């Protein structure tokens, strides 16, 4: 039997792979490459939705959400309290001393101007005590300016007045020294130099000092307001967490017929403690810092402005005598400053405002003493003007500058100045005491809130985990 062999034909072509989906998905339906990365959030959301269709999945989603909310609320609350604590510390350690330094610049320059004029009026060698007072004023102004200037780099509004004071203060002291030298030699031109120095003080130095004082005072008020502001975001998050915990427990009670979930109860208790502790601490802190502002820095501001008005009026009083009959402008300015200090009727003005603010305590006694001294000073000033207008120039000078002159202007003014300084010291101490106590109200609150947030998160985890075990 004959067999027939068949030659092998060409191999059949392999089937072509199916084309890739046009949207970049692989055979499993997932995207690859960059498209896959972009699709991850959507996949995660879909997985969560699918998981939430079952009770264990819903419990897992609830647990994760509550834990995240607890940690975020705790973080925000902790940072909010810590920021408030840092702000109060900054007010005490930095901002209030800078405001006090700018006050000192203003006060020292005003007093230096008045003292230089008083010393100029003395016959022969100027009294050593006046010379020492003038030099002390200039030294204190320079030291306070250096301290106030330390903040000029961070506060643009403070840079210009600081530059003006640094540039013009040496010019002023140079003019005063020239006036002294000419006065010792008996040259009348000394009075012109002194008047030029005083005009420089009033035209440039004191306005710059006033601007610096205003800037520092405004910054102090801003930081005090910041330290008493309501922490809205932290409060909203903590209240939302508490509400979510309550809703979750109601949900679990209905699903499991169990009245209490120990873990969630612990978490709720931690949140309630956070709210109560934080609320009480912030109420006390805000009240005390606000009291420090009302009873301290605000009163000090009024008293400082009263003292500066008195010092400028004192300079006007002595410069009127230096001008020897040509001091009408100085006397007019004295009258304006006296009205600013005591009002038209002698019972108002800045001292009247201070009496309205300070009604009890040591500060009230100091303000009353200042008001009485101011009345005595104005009465003595009237006597000085009467003597000068009657041609008794030397008697007028003695009454104006002699510290031991009975019923004189100098001792009355010194009593006024000392009383105002004492009242300012009382106000500053009240500010420091109240603000320090406000700071103490926040002791351990920031770390305490952080710990309670972790406890709440742990309680949620344990509470939900117990329910999840029932489904295994």
The pLDDT confidence band at residue 471, using thresholds 50, 70 and 90, is low
pLDDT for the residue 2: 43
| Banded model confidence at residue 152, pLDDT cuts 50, 70, 90 | low
Indicate if the pLDDT at residue 380 is higher than 70. yes
Q: Is pLDDT at 35 greater than 70 in this prediction?
A: no
Residues sharing a CB contact under 8 Å with residue 381, sequence separation 6 or more, in sequence order: 317, 334, 409
Q: What is the pLDDT of residue 423?
A: 92
pLDDT value, residue 52: 53
Which two structure tokens, joined as six digits, stand for 291?
Answer: 């009291």
C-alpha 167/C-alpha 165 separation (Å) is 5
Degrees, nearest 5: CA angle 42-46-47: 115
CB-based contacts of 251, cutoff 8 Å, min separation 6:
62
Mean per-residue pLDDT for 154-168?
A: 85
For residue 365, the model assigns a pLDDT of 92
Which of 147-151, 235-239, 351-355 is predicted least confidently?
A: 147-151
Exposure string of 80-109, with b = 16+ CB inside 10 Å and e = fewer, is bbbebbebbeebbeebbebbbbbbbbbbbb
Residue 31, beta-bridge partner list: 25
Burial tier of 425 (Cβ tally within 10 Å: 0-12, 13-18, 19+): middle
What are the pLDDT digits (tens) for 403-443?
777 888 889 999 999 999 999 999 888 888 988 898 898 88
d(CA 261, CA 324): 93
Distance (Å, whole) CA 161 – CA 148:
11
Half-sphere exposure in the Cβ direction for 217 (13 Å, CA): 20
Identify the residue with better confidence: 446 or 465. 446
**350 has a pLDDT exceeding 50:** yes
Q: For 254-282, what is the mean pLDDT?
A: 87
342-367 average pLDDT score: 88
**Pairwise pLDDT comparison (219 vs 255), residue with the higher score:** 219
Q: For position 6, what pLDDT does the model report?
A: 46
pLDDT at 274: 94
Residue 197 contacts by C-beta under 8 Å, 6 or more apart in sequence? 113, 116, 172, 175, 176, 179
pLDDT range class, residue 143, cuts 50, 70, 90 = very high
- Res 84 pLDDT > 50: yes
Q: What confidence score (pLDDT) does residue 9 get? A: 47
Whole-number Å distance between alpha carbons of 396 and 381: 9
Q: 244 vs 189, which has greater pLDDT?
A: 244
Give whichever of 223-227, 242-246, 297-301, 319-323 has the largest mean pLDDT.
242-246
Note the pLDDT of residue 45.
58
- The residue with greater pLDDT, 169 or 126, is 169
């Amino acid at each position: 039997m004959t067999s027939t062999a068949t030659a092998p034909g060409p191999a059949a072509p392999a089937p072509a792979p199916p084309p890739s989906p046009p949207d970049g998905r692989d055979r499993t339906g997932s995207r690859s490459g960059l498209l896959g990365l972009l699709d991850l959030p959507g996949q995660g959301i879909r997985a969560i939705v699918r998981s939430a269709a079952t009770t264990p999945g819903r419990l897992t989603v609830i647990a994760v959400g509550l834990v995240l909310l607890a940690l975020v609320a705790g973080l925000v609350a902790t940072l909010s309290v810590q920021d408030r604590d840092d702000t109060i510390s900054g007010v005490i350690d930095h901002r209030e001393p800078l405001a006090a330094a700018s006050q000192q610049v203003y006060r020292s320059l005003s007093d230096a101007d008045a003292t230089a004029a008083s010393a100029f009026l003395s016959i022969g060698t100027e009294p050593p005590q006046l010379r020492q007072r003038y030099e002390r004023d200039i030294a204190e102004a320079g030291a306070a300016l250096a301290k106030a200037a330390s903040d000029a780099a961070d506060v643009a509004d403070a840079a210009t007045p600081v530059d003006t004071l640094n540039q013009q203060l040496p010019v002023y002291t140079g003019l005063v020294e020239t006036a002294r030298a000419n006065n010792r030699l008996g040259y009348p031109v000394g009075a012109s130099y002194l008047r030029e120095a005083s005009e420089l003080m009033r035209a440039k130095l004191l306005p710059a000092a006033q601007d610096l004082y205003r800037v520092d005072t405004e910054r102090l008020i801003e930081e005090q307001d910041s330290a008493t502001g309501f922490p809205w975001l932290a409060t909203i998050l903590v209240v939302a967490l508490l509400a979510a915990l309550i809703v979750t427990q109601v949900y679990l009670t209905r699903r499991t017929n169990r009245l209490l979930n120990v873990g969630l109860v612990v978490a709720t208790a931690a949140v309630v403690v956070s709210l109560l502790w934080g609320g009480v601490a912030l109420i006390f802190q805000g009240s005390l810092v606000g009291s420090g502002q009302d009873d301290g820095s605000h009163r000090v501001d009024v008293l400082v402005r009263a003292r500066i008005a008195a010092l400028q009026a004192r300079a006007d009083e002595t410069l009127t005598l230096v001008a020897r009959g040509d001091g009408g402008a100085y006397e007019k300015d004295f009258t304006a400053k006296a009205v600013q200090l005591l009002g038209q009727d002698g019972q108002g003005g800045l001292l009247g405002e201070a009496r309205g603010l300070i009604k009890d305590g040591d500060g009230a006694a100091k303000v009353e003493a200042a008001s009485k001294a101011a009345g005595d000073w104005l009465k003595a000033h009237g006597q000085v003007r009467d003597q000068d207008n009657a041609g008794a120039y030397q008697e007028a000078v003695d009454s104006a500058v002699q510290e031991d002159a009975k019923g004189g202007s100098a001792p009355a003014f010194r009593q006024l100045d000392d009383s105002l300084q004492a009242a300012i010291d009382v106000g500053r101490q009240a500010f420091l005491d109240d603000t320090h106590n406000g700071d103490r109200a926040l002791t351990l609150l920031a770390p305490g809130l952080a710990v309670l947030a972790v406890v709440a998160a742990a309680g949620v985890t344990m509470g939900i985990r117990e329910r999840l075990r029932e489904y295994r």
